[in-house]
């Protein structure tokens, strides 16, 4: 069979025929089922408590009462209003807030089509995203708002590709109303504007939009600490401490030795022994300070990729940005993948395949293991090292290695491209001078 025959055989995939709408319907059904028929993770219970707490006690008092409440003021206010509405209508709050998040995530598939507008396989990528287990689980079952960040970043990608710094900055600032990790993509989005004036404008708009919902609560929290010293023993600003100083959790399964849910530290455990107290200083430093390496690398990567100014090029930069984060950051919560899930489909077929197979496979397998049900319906059961399947360990390590390998490869290619551009620029200057 020649190339033209093969191309003709699969030509139906280049347009949104019945096969595509079947995938959309399957993805919609899976998300509705997971949002309605499952308990969700601990985050579903926590959001119910936080939303009701903000509605009953007020925003600042709830920040003071709950050390685990690390969500921004804007989304907290919105969730409190949704809790009041769902209570008045007799709806379960865990369904009322998970379902809209799941539907927004499904709409990300159509933004994927926009980003891939010049690719004949854009409908395939979008259709596969609709049924990607990791997207279905983290958007509809888990019980957090993180999937909204990825949808906003897709919009930012399209605005940045159209050279619209104000719109890009405004939507990026809106991400910070939901959760701060969307700002990790800021270097990829800001540096892509050729002129420093546009970069500054995009950054200023993002800062203005983001801070607009923080300034009031920060001032109110400062007054609250001064007037209620017993409620805030530290005397600090509870909004600042809860939202901006949150570092994530070292999630582990207790045992001898413990099993960490994520991170390169699992490889250190094998190499350096079970007793973490006996580890070299550099290894202990790494576990607690890896963000001091990862975040500067993310900024540098965004700068090195500034010439990739098409929508697909920007999307690939954002995929690489979060790959660096996933590979190097040791503090971990399960929903972190949700920040960039649509971008996994936009960085080449190899990354799309391996990230979904290993990263997505790990998430789904872990959730099935934790709930004891492949449909993820029950609440999570207590986990121990003794019953941790070796297949789950293999999937976790394969996922970490996948993100690390792609992050290192892409970063090296970005450096090589920058060096080649520098040499070409130097050659032109030398030629002009002679």
Residue-by-residue DSSP string for 287-349? HHHTHHHHHHHHHHHHHHTTT--SHHHHHHHHHHHHHHHHHH-----GGGGGGTGGGGGGS-H
pLDDT at position 433, please? 67
Phi, psi of 259 (to 5 degrees): -115, 115
d(CA 118, CA 8): 18
Out of 392-396, 401-405, 430-434, which region has the weakest mean confidence (pLDDT)? 430-434
pLDDT at position 254, please? 79
The 10 Å Cβ neighbour count of residue 315 is: 28
Position 402 pLDDT exceeds 90: yes
pLDDT, tens digit (0-9, with 9 covering 90-100), for 356-395: 999 999 999 999 999 999 999 998 888 887 788 889 999 9
pLDDT at position 185, please? 97
Structure-token pair, residue 22: 């079947």
For the segment 276-298, the average pLDDT, to the nearest whole number, is: 91
The pTM assigned to this predicted structure is 0.94
pLDDT at position 407, please? 98
pLDDT at position 259, please? 86
Position 235 pLDDT exceeds 80: no
Position 6 pLDDT exceeds 60: no
For the chain, the average pLDDT equals 92
For the segment 113-122, the average pLDDT, to the nearest whole number, is: 94
pLDDT at position 434, please? 63
pLDDT at position 234, please? 75
- Percentage, residues of the chain above pLDDT 70: 97
d(CA 266, CA 286): 12
Q: Rounded to whole angstroms, what are the CA distances from 207 to 170, 177, 191, 239, 359?
A: 9, 11, 15, 17, 32
What residues contact 106, with CB distance under 8 A and at least 6 apart?
Answer: 24, 27, 28, 31, 130, 139
pLDDT, tens digit (0-9, with 9 covering 90-100), for 30-88: 999 999 999 999 999 999 999 999 999 999 999 999 988 999 999 999 999 999 999 99
pLDDT at position 91, please? 92
Out of 168-182, 282-296, 393-407, which region has the weakest mean confidence (pLDDT)? 282-296
Residue 250's pLDDT band (boundaries 50, 70, 90)? confident
Structure-token pair, residue 145: 């708002």
- Interhelix angle 18-37/122-131, nearest 10 degrees: 20
Please say whether the beta carbons of 159 and 167 come within 8 A.
yes
What residues contact 351, with CB distance under 8 A and at least 6 apart?
Answer: 319, 323, 344, 406
For residue 257, say if its preceding peptide bond is cis, omega within 30 degrees of 0: yes
pLDDT, tens digit (0-9, with 9 covering 90-100), for 137-195: 999 999 999 999 999 999 999 999 999 999 999 999 999 999 999 999 999 999 999 99
Position 345 pLDDT exceeds 80: yes
Position 3 pLDDT exceeds 50: no
d(CA 98, CA 307): 38
Position 4 pLDDT exceeds 60: no
Position 5 pLDDT exceeds 70: no
The SS3 call for residue 373 is: coil
Position 7 pLDDT exceeds 80: no
pLDDT at position 1, please? 45
């Amino acid at each position: 069979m020649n190339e033209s025959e093969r191309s003709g055989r699969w030509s139906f995939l280049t347009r949104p025929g019945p096969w595509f709408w079947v995938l959309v319907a399957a993805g919609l059904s899976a998300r509705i089922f997971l949002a309605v028929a499952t308990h969700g993770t601990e985050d579903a219970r926590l959001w119910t408590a936080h939303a009701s707490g903000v509605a009953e006690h007020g925003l600042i008092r709830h920040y003071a009462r709950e050390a685990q409440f690390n969500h921004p003021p804007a989304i907290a206010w919105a969730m409190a209003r949704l809790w009041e509405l769902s209570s008045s209508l007799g709806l379960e709050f865990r369904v009322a807030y998970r379902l809209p998040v799941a539907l927004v995530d499904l709409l990300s598939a159509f933004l994927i089509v926009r980003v891939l507008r010049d690719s004949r396989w854009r409908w395939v990528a979008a259709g596969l995203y609709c049924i990607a287990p990791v997207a279905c689980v983290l958007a509809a079952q888990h019980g957090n708002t993180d999937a909204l960040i990825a949808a906003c970043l897709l919009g930012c990608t399209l605005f940045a590709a159209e050279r619209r710094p104000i719109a890009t900055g405004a939507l990026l600032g809106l991400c910070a109303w939901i959760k701060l990790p969307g700002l990790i993509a800021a270097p990829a989005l800001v540096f892509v504007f050729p002129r420093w004036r546009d970069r500054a404008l995009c950054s200023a708009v993002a800062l203005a939009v983001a801070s607009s919902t923080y300034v009031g609560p920060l001032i109110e929290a400062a007054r609250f600490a001064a007037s209620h010293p017993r409620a805030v023993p530290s005397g600090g600003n509870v909004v600042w401490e809860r939202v901006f100083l949150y570092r994530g959790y070292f999630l582990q399964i207790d045992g001898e030795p413990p099993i960490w849910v994520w991170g390169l530290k699992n490889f250190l455990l094998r190499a350096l022994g079970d007793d973490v107290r006996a580890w070299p200083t550099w290894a202990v430093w790494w576990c607690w300070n890896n963000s001091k390496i990862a975040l500067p690398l993310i900024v540098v990567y965004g700068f090195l990729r500034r010439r990739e100014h098409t929508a697909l090029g920007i999307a690939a930069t954002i995929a690489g940005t979060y790959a660096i984060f996933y590979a190097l950051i040791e503090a971990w919560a399960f929903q972190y993948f949700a920040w960039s899930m649509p971008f996994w489909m936009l960085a080449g077929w190899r990354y799309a395949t391996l990230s979904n197979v290993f990263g997505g496979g790990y998430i789904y397998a872990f959730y099935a293991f934790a709930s004891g049900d492949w449909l993820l319906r029950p609440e999570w059961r207590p986990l121990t090292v003794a019953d941790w399947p070796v297949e789950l360990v293999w999937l976790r390590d394969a996922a970490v290695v996948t993100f690390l390998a792609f992050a290192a490869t892409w970063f090296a290619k970005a450096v090589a491209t920058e060096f080649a551009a520098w040499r070409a620029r130097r050659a032109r200057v030398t030629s002009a001078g002679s």
